[in-house]
Amino acid sequence: MDNIVNIEDLPALHQRGQRLAGIDLGSKTIGIALSDTLLSIASPSHTIKRRKFAGDASELLEFCRQQKVFALILGLPLNMDGSEGPRVQATRAFARNLGNISELPIVYWDERLSTVAAERAMIEADMSRMKRAKKIDAAAAGIILQGALDRLRSLD
């Protein structure tokens, strides 16, 4: 199933009470952020420690079901020059595999510098290195999701 959609498709899919989830797909963890039901504000939620795809996907999809998520904003780790490297291929493969077991729409979102921005914000908040390490992927997911939410608001 091809569940990859454009950001412009989301308003038609959104129903009252539903949320968006932002995903920062790392090699060791999956950072997750959640929008409010008005699709205005992104909040970092948590991380999933990566194991095998089936377990990761099951945990992610169960979270989405519980939180009434209607679509995913998946960070696409493009190179600074806009080219695609191995991490982009891995992200696209994750989305493809998720599409085989779920009908949740997925929007790719350019995530360049999201982790850098999250790290900077955490340092400014005087967060310890250990705390930052535990929360960085969820914070990056929040930045990815907020970018998408801001774009959605500009469509109105």
Q: What is the pLDDT of residue 105?
A: 98
d(CA 23, CA 72) in angstroms, rounded, equals 7
Q: What is the pLDDT of residues 38-93, one digit of tens each?
A: 999 999 999 999 999 999 999 999 999 999 999 999 999 988 888 888 999 999 99
Q: What is the pLDDT of residue 8?
A: 96
pLDDT at 6: 95
- The pLDDT value given to residue 79: 83
| Cα three-residue angle 146-30-48, rounded to 5 degrees | 120
Across 6-10, 31-35, 68-72, 81-85, least confident range: 81-85
Residue partners of 103: CB distance under 8 A and separation at least 6: 1, 3
- Can you give the pLDDT at residue 113? 63
Displacement of CA 104 from its chain's centroid (Å): 13
In angstroms, the CA 97 to CA 112 distance is 23
Please state the rounded mean pLDDT for residues 25-41: 95
Domains annotated on the chain, with CATH: 7-155 (3.30.420.140)
pLDDT tens-digit readout, 101-133:
999 999 999 987 666 666 777 677 776 777 666
The angle, 0 to 180 degrees and rounded to 10, between the axes of the packed helices 86-101 and 53-66 is: 60
Q: Which of 77, 71, 69 is nearest to 107 (CA)?
A: 71
CA separation for the pair 140, 133 (Å, rounded): 12
